[in-house]
């Protein structure tokens, strides 16, 4: 690992690693931000689509271990057992720091000079650690399959722990994921939040309309959209579901007339829905959940399952409310009890600004510079503390305090085609 004394003014050589750029979701949005902060860094992924790399703004520096092939995209999950060996067989270009954006295998990747690694961990490998039973119920249909799946999960846990031990600095988005990292890897991460572009996700001028909204990639049972559809069948209220995914057609076939599915949408269309919705429904237990914070940046209240990252980002009675069970009955009661007139849309917006992309980028840069042995170029920022700082978060457009707490940043490159479909946030 590289060592060195602080060297002010030096720009570290960075290699960014990513898992699978198959769709544009939450992990891709984060990697896009990392790449914008380090515009000279090569970006490496196990597999990725050219159009997703283009949308992330990294097409000119995007590299993959596997060739882009529709057959691979349809079956890449079946290659899970060989990914550790595939990664071990190839070393990436020399660098001062590896910056990984990982929910699976990207933290396994190493450079020729074995550069120190800063890992932004979306989640430890879910099927091996936190959701083994749920994935087993999908991937296995008999006793032999159960035994094989559990053996695979155990093998992946062993290789994952070895790869995690080589990470020098862990960053993550919420205390929920931080606890998992500490439990499974024995590492203590820094909670730095997740990047929300508050210049894109912002309140609109139109009046709120009488519909509720779900935004996300439609993957069951992970996202639990089915229980929300059933709840709104009983309520008879309008629900709009924005997003695509493997469960889209099945959910659409079984949905009542008051539930509308839009398919995948571009950011502008998602923002428009968030600006007009009465509230956003968030039925899944995500490690962080970018979507609720994006909606709050639009001033939209949240009705969320009380679990995972939402307990860090949503403030009960101030920015939304919770339900305690992932059942249609629990959602029905939460919607009936929801008091939209009692919530201040401006306060909801202010709360979301603590996850603004500029502060996120500053925290990442500081971690990378320290790993490279360079004196940080940005003064240390206060930690992200969720709902505890609701009344103390300055508006994004407030005058500069002059204390240098957030350095100027290079604007993110956004896709030239505004019609590009949004896979929606999944981190």
- What's the pLDDT tens digit per position in 236-255? 999 999 988 888 999 999 99
Q: How many helices (H) and strands (E) does the chain have?
A: 15, 13
Indicate the DSSP class of residue 223.
S
Element (H, E) at 391: none
Q: What is the pLDDT of residue 75?
A: 82
Predicted confidence (pLDDT) per residue in 21-48, tens digit: 988 888 899 999 999 999 999 999 999 9
Q: What is the pLDDT of residue 386?
A: 58
Predicted confidence (pLDDT) per residue in 394-403, tens digit: 333 333 233 3
Kindly tell me if the per-residue pLDDT of 7 is higher than 60: no
DSSP-assigned beta bridge partners for residue 71: none
d(CA 413, CA 402): 27
Place 18 in a pLDDT band, splitting at 50, 70 and 90.
very high
Q: What is the pLDDT of residue 397?
A: 35
Span(s) in the chain for CATH 3.40.50.2000: 212-354
Query: Beta-strand (E) ranges in 258-396?
Result: 259-263, 279-282, 302-305, 320-323
Q: What is the pLDDT of residue 154?
A: 86
Q: What is the pLDDT of residue 364?
A: 96
Q: Report the DSSP pairing between strands 259-263 and 279-282.
A: unpaired
Q: What is the pLDDT of residue 393?
A: 33
d(CA 341, CA 107): 46
Q: What is the pLDDT of residue 2?
A: 26
Please give the angle made by the CA atoms of 105, 107 and 113, to the nearest 5 degrees. Answer: 130
Place 425 in a pLDDT band, splitting at 50, 70 and 90.
very low
Any idea which fold 212-354 has?
Rossmann fold (3.40.50)
Q: What is the pLDDT of residue 192?
A: 92
How many CA atoms are closer than 13 Å to the CA of 327, on its beta-carbon side?
A: 5
Kindly tell me if the per-residue pLDDT of 422 is higher than 70: no
Kindly tell me if the per-residue pLDDT of 391 is higher than 60: no
Kindly tell me if the per-residue pLDDT of 427 is higher than 80: no
Q: What is the pLDDT of residue 381?
A: 59
Report the pLDDT averaged over residues 2-13: 57
Which tokens go with 78?
Answer: 């079946």
d(CA 172, CA 319): 23
Closest by CA position to 32, among listed 423, 415, 417, 419: 415
pTM confidence score: 0.76
Which tokens go with 153?
Answer: 């999960």
Place 375 in a pLDDT band, splitting at 50, 70 and 90.
confident
Q: What is the pLDDT of residue 275?
A: 97
Which tokens go with 261?
Answer: 């599915």
Predicted confidence (pLDDT) per residue in 169-203, tens digit: 999 998 889 999 999 999 999 999 899 999 999 99
Q: What is the 3-state secondary structure (H, E, C) of 139-151?
A: HCCCHHHHHHHHH
d(CA 70, CA 165): 34
Q: Are the CB atoms for 221 and 197 separated by under 8 Å?
A: no
Q: What is the pLDDT of residue 421?
A: 46
Residue position matching structure tokens 């290789």: 159
Q: Is the dihedral of CA 76, 78, 81, 86 positive or negative?
A: negative
Place 77 in a pLDDT band, splitting at 50, 70 and 90.
confident
Predicted confidence (pLDDT) per residue in 86-133, tens digit: 999 999 999 999 999 999 999 999 999 999 999 999 999 877 777 667
Q: What is the pLDDT of residue 250?
A: 92
Predicted confidence (pLDDT) per residue in 320-349, tens digit: 999 999 999 999 999 999 987 889 999 999
Size of the chain in residues: 427
Kindly tell me if the per-residue pLDDT of 82 is higher than 50: yes
Kindly tell me if the per-residue pLDDT of 15 is higher than 90: yes
Q: What is the pLDDT of residue 223?
A: 85
The yes/no answer on whether domain 14-195+356-384 falls in CATH 3.40.50 is yes
Report the pLDDT averaged over residues 192-215: 94
With 0-12 / 13-18 / 19 or more C-beta atoms within 10 angstroms meaning exposed / middle / buried, residue 224 is buried
Which tokens go with 143?
Answer: 């006793």
Predicted confidence (pLDDT) per residue in 270-315, tens digit: 999 999 999 999 999 888 888 999 999 999 999 999 998 899 899 9
Place 417 in a pLDDT band, splitting at 50, 70 and 90.
very low
d(CA 323, CA 284): 11
What is residue 93's three-state secondary structure?
A: coil
Sheet of 97-102, strands arranged across: 62-64, 42-48, 14-21, 97-102, 117-121, 169-172, 190-191
Please give the angle made by the CA atoms of 216, 221 and 227, to the nearest 5 degrees. Answer: 75
Q: What is the pLDDT of residue 343?
A: 92
Element (H, E) at 179: helix 175-185
Place 385 in a pLDDT band, splitting at 50, 70 and 90.
low
Element (H, E) at 22: none
Write down the mean pLDDT value for the chain: 85
């Amino acid at each position: 690992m590289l060592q060195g004394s602080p060297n002010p003014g030096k720009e570290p050589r960075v290699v960014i690693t990513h898992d699978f750029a198959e769709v544009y979701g939450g992990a891709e949005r984060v990697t896009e931000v990392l790449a914008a902060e380090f515009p000279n860094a090569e970006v490496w992924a196990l597999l990725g689509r050219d159009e997703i790399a283009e949308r992330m703004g990294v097409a000119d520096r995007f590299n993959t271990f596997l060739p882009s092939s529709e057959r691979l995209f349809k079956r890449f999950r079946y290659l899970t057992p060989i990914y550790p060996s595939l990664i071990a067989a190839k070393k990436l270009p020399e660098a001062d720091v590896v910056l990984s954006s990982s929910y699976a295998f990207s933290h396994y990747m190493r450079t020729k000079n074995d550069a120190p690694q800063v890992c932004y961990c979306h989640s430890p490998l879910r099927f091996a650690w936190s959701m083994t039973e749920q994935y087993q119920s999908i991937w296995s249909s008999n006793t032999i399959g159960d035994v094989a799946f559990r053996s695979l999960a155990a093998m992946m846990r062993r290789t994952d722990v070895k790869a995690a031990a080589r990470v020098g600095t862990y960053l993550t988005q919420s205390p929920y994921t931080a606890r998992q990292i500490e439990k499974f890897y024995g590492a203590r991460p820094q909670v730095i939040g997740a990047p929300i572009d508050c210049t894109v996700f912002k309140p609109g001028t139109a009046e709120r309309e009488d519909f509720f909204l779900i935004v996300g990639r439609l993957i069951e049972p992970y996202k639990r959209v089915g229980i929300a559809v059933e709840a709104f069948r009983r309520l008879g209220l309008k629900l709009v579901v924005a997003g695509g995914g493997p469960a889209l057609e099945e959910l659409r076939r079984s949905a009542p007339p008051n539930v509308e599915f839009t398919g995948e949408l571009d950011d502008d269309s998602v923002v428009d829905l968030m600006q007009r919705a009465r509230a956003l429904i968030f039925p899944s237990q995500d490690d962080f959940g970018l979507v609720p914070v994006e909606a709050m940046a639009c001033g939209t209240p949240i009705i969320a399952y009380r679990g995972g990252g939402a307990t860090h980002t949503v403030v009960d009675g101030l920015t939304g409310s919770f339900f305690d069970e992932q059942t249609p009955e629990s959602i029905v009661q939460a919607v009936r009890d929801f008091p939209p007139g009692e919530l201040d849309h401006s306060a909801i917006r202010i709360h979301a600004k603590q996850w603004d992309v500029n502060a996120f980028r500053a925290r990442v840069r500081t971690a990378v510079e320290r790993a490279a042995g360079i004196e940080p170029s940005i003064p240390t920022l206060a930690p992200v503390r969720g709902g505890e700082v609701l009344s103390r978060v300055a508006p994004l457009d407030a005058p500069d305090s002059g204390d240098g707490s957030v350095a100027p940043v290079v604007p993110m490159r956004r896709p030239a085609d505004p019609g590009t479909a949004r896979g929606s946030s999944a981190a």
